[in-house]
Structure 1
Amino acid sequence: MGNQLLVVDKLIPGGNVESYIQAVNTIPMLSAEEERELAQRLHQDNDLEAARRLVMSHLRFVVHIARSYSGYGLAQSDLIQEGNVGLMKAVKRFNPEFGVRLVSFAVHWIKAEIHEFILRNWRIVKIATTKAQRKLFFNLRSAKKRLAWLTNDEVTAVAEDLGVEPRVVREMEGRLASQDTAFDGPMDDDEDQAWQAPAYYLEDRRYDPAQQAEQADWTEDSNTRLLEALEALDERSQDILRQRWLAENKATLHELAAKYSVSAERIRQLEKNAMKKIRKQMDEAA
């Protein structure tokens, strides 16, 4: 029972990361023969104790890999925990007949889980969504040795190494250089700077009661003036506008031309003149 509790403690780094690292470094490493025997027991008999020993003996490697991702501003305990998830997935899939050591097989799974965690949490706006973008993201982070922008030669070299267009490298570099902004602005902003926070220029005013009332009044007034202007037209002009613009099944010029025994061009002229009269009357009533 004590060993089972120890497994749980080791797989979930607590607040004291250094104590966790010291603890996992004391766990004995397995020889090639021991590893193969345990892997066979797990693979053939689903031996959970064998799986526990395989995982425990490789926790130190997860720590080593997680430390290489310390430059992303994320808690090392979180990186280690995600790497441990990858290790457990690797142990579950490891076949001793592969002819390789577990650590070589597990590296891919450990890094994959850490990569996913970084991409989910490093920025609010996701900067890498496709497989190619993810590869470029991590390689470009490693390629940039300084804070300055890459030169044209450096961009070309990175693009050639990763098999992408130079513009893609520039685009990703711009994303890496961007910074997240707090919606309400920093707490220590003074009044002269506070207006620059997104909360001020991204405010949704669609449901402001005052604006809704104003919009309703404007719409009602516009409809009233439109009906008054329409009623001031002669009967034929009213019918043409209603048939052309207000009816559910709008009539064509030729249909109205047949109705009034005139040409389609004449109907178009009558429609145009009627619209001019309505605009003029509505402007005068405004």
Structure 2
Amino acid sequence: MTATTASTSLALRSPWAMVPSLGNLDAYIRAVHALPLLTAEEEAESARRLRDHEDVDAAGRLVLSHLRLVVSISRQYLGYGLPQGDLIQEGNVGLMKAVRRFDPDQGVRLVSYALHWIKAEIHDYIVRNWRLVKVATTKAQRKLFFNLRSLKHDLKAQAEDPVRHALTAAEIDQVARSLNVSADEVVEMETRLAGGEVALEAPSDEEEGGALAPIHYLSDDTHEPSRQIERQARDQLASHGLTHALEQLDARSRRIVEARWLDVNDDASGGKTLHELAAEYGVSAERIRQIETAALKKMRATLASA
């Protein structure tokens, strides 16, 4: 091993602990771009040590020196609405697969060999996690999905009216011939891609007080056990509990509570007023209010202990 190789080996062996998690994306990207690259000789030597001796350190050197490649490739797929951190993570899986299968004696650099594996993992991740690509079940449809945006961009650049967004019939036929799919498939994919995505749950960093995510108003908790228990308890209090609480009052207090809160006139004017009850019992309205307050307090205590 040359002095240069030895120094690079030491420089790349320790950075495993220097690369932060993808939770802090900016710090991760800065860290991977600070990692040194391998020369062709160093790369070939590490690949042979991995192939011939299962050298884990050699595999680490190959992976670490190409993490920036994954970051670069992930940027090409940001238009699909998925987090870049997730794209990088999947791309790193592809990079590790490439490192495992790389043969230095084939005469190509790892960067060229790894491109296929990194993109393949990212493509599979997008297909698994983006609902719009459920139609992309064939090889031709997948090719359409991943190339339609770039083809539309090229066609718009050539068009007389680059502001318009929809493809013309002639352009649809051109795309269909280019990607070996039907014109109907092009139209369907363009419609789906133009529809956009709405997150069911709010992002974790969404500020408090912001708009409610769909999960808050689309969820059905009708049969959720805790909700059922709450409803049963509420119904119990509204029927048997209320009756029991009223039974704990003296006749006058019960009459006042019922007349004030439980008896509703046919004309929807509500219960009796304090002055009406005061005239009925020959006391002041303030005295009726005191009796009512004491009765309601006693009822609350009875309901709380039920």
Give TM-score scaled by structure 1 length: 0.59
Q: Is the 8 A contact 1:91 1:102 kept in 2?
A: yes
In structure 1, C-alpha distance between the alignment counterparts of 2:213 and 2:144, rounded to whole Å: 36
Structure 1 counterpart of 2:129, from 100, 115, 121: 121
Structure 1's 198 and 25: CA in aligned 2 closer, same or farther, altered over 3 A? Answer: closer
What letter matches 2:189 in structure 1? M
In structure 1, C-alpha distance between the alignment counterparts of 2:213 and 2:39, rounded to whole Å: 57
Output one character per residue of 1:226-268: Cα deviation in whole Å (capped at 9) or x when no partner: xxxxxxxxxxxxxxxxxxxxxxxxxxxxxxxxxxxxxxxxxxx
Q: Residue in 1 aligned with 2:151?
A: 143
1:124 Cα deviation after fit:
6.9
Q: Residue in 1 aligned with 2:138?
A: 130
In structure 2, C-alpha distance between the alignment counterparts of 1:121 and 1:49, rounded to whole Å: 33
Q: Residue in 2 aligned with 1:264?
A: none
Structure 1's 36 and 176: CA in aligned 2 closer, same or farther, altered over 3 A? Answer: same
Trace 1:27-106 onto structure 2 (pairs within 5 A).
Answer: 27-106=35-114
Q: Is the 8 A contact 2:200 2:213 kept in 1?
A: no
The alignment's C-alpha RMSD in Å is: 3.2
Structure 1 spans left out of the alignment, 5+ residues: 204-286
**Deviating more after overlay: 83-92 vs 112-121:** 112-121
Q: Residue in 2 aligned with 1:260?
A: none
Q: Residue in 2 aligned with 1:281?
A: none
SS of the residue corresponding to residue 21 of structure 1 reads helix
In structure 2, C-alpha distance between the alignment counterparts of 1:188 and 1:126, rounded to whole Å: 24
Q: Is the 8 A contact 2:32 2:67 kept in 1?
A: yes
SS of the residue corresponding to residue 23 of structure 1 reads helix
Q: Is the 8 A contact 2:15 2:35 kept in 1?
A: no
Give TM-score scaled by structure 2 length: 0.56
Q: Residue in 2 aligned with 1:7?
A: 16
In structure 2, C-alpha distance between the alignment counterparts of 1:125 and 1:105, rounded to whole Å: 27
Structure 1's 80 and 8: CA in aligned 2 closer, same or farther, altered over 3 A? Answer: farther
Segments ≥4 residues shifted beyond 3 Å: 2-6, 178-184, 186-189
Q: Is the 8 A contact 1:156 1:166 kept in 2?
A: yes
Output one character per residue of 1:8-30: Cα deviation in whole Å (capped at 9) or x when no partner: 663x7432211111111111111
Q: Is the 8 A contact 2:90 2:125 kept in 1?
A: yes
SS of the residue corresponding to residue 126 of structure 1 reads helix
In structure 1, C-alpha distance between the alignment counterparts of 2:38 and 2:170, rounded to whole Å: 47
In structure 2, C-alpha distance between the alignment counterparts of 1:188 and 1:123, rounded to whole Å: 18
Structure 1's 149 and 103: CA in aligned 2 closer, same or farther, altered over 3 A? Answer: same
1:154 Cα deviation after fit:
1.4
1:168 aligned to 2:185? yes
What letter matches 2:69 in structure 1? F
In structure 2, C-alpha distance between the alignment counterparts of 1:34 and 1:149, rounded to whole Å: 50
What letter matches 1:59 in structure 2? L
In structure 1, C-alpha distance between the alignment counterparts of 2:13 and 2:43, rounded to whole Å: 20
What letter matches 1:7 in structure 2? W
Q: Is the 8 A contact 2:132 2:192 kept in 1?
A: no
Structure 1's 35 and 72: CA in aligned 2 closer, same or farther, altered over 3 A? Answer: same
Query: How many equivalent residue pairs?
Result: 193
Q: Is the 8 A contact 1:13 1:77 kept in 2?
A: no
Output one character per residue of 1:72-91: Cα deviation in whole Å (capped at 9) or x when no partner: 11111111111101000000
In structure 2, C-alpha distance between the alignment counterparts of 1:188 and 1:157, rounded to whole Å: 40
1:98 Cα deviation after fit:
1.4
SS of the residue corresponding to residue 68 of structure 1 reads helix
Q: Is the 8 A contact 1:128 1:137 kept in 2?
A: yes
